[in-house]
Copies of this chain bind each other. A is one copy, B any other.
């Protein structure tokens, strides 16, 4: 299980929505993990300049609006990669065999198409979109 991406989105919703600058400790309680795990995530988000921590002050702030922040931006920050990675291709097929010699480019090409689609979908989704979906759920719950 690799939940860094979902934990990062959770973290950013908290930072965007809270009425005070959230600390790693507060974020960790909500995400259900420990502060050092959150600090790894916030470190990556700071490195990509998605959040900032103000000197002398506790807690984080977004550097962009939630409308401007795509899930792809977050993915890139967390995995430190421009490519969305979904499928692995086996590393050591035999060069002695005609199938083994050509399998990697064939599969890489097919897998890249799927990964490119996923990238476009992540680009089309924003942090604000996540917050809006959450708001709808909360309103529905309140109404029932």
Chain A residues at the B interface, C-beta cutoff of 8 Å:
1-3, 5-7, 9-10, 13-14, 17, 29-33, 71, 86-94, 96-100, 102-103, 105-107, 109-111, 113-114, 117-118, 121-122, 125, 129-130, 133-134, 137-138
Question: Taking chain A's interface residues, is the majority helix, strand, or loop, or is none over half, making it mixed?
Answer: helix
State A110–B9 Cα separation when bound (angstroms).
12
- Known: A30-B99, A100-B30. Is A90-B10 also a contact (CB below 8 A)? yes
3 nearest interchain CB pairs?
A32-B92, A3-B90, A30-B97
Instruction: Give the chain B neighbours of A134 by CB distance below 8 A.
Output: 99, 102-103, 106
Distance between A3 CB and nearest chain B CB, rounded to angstroms:
4
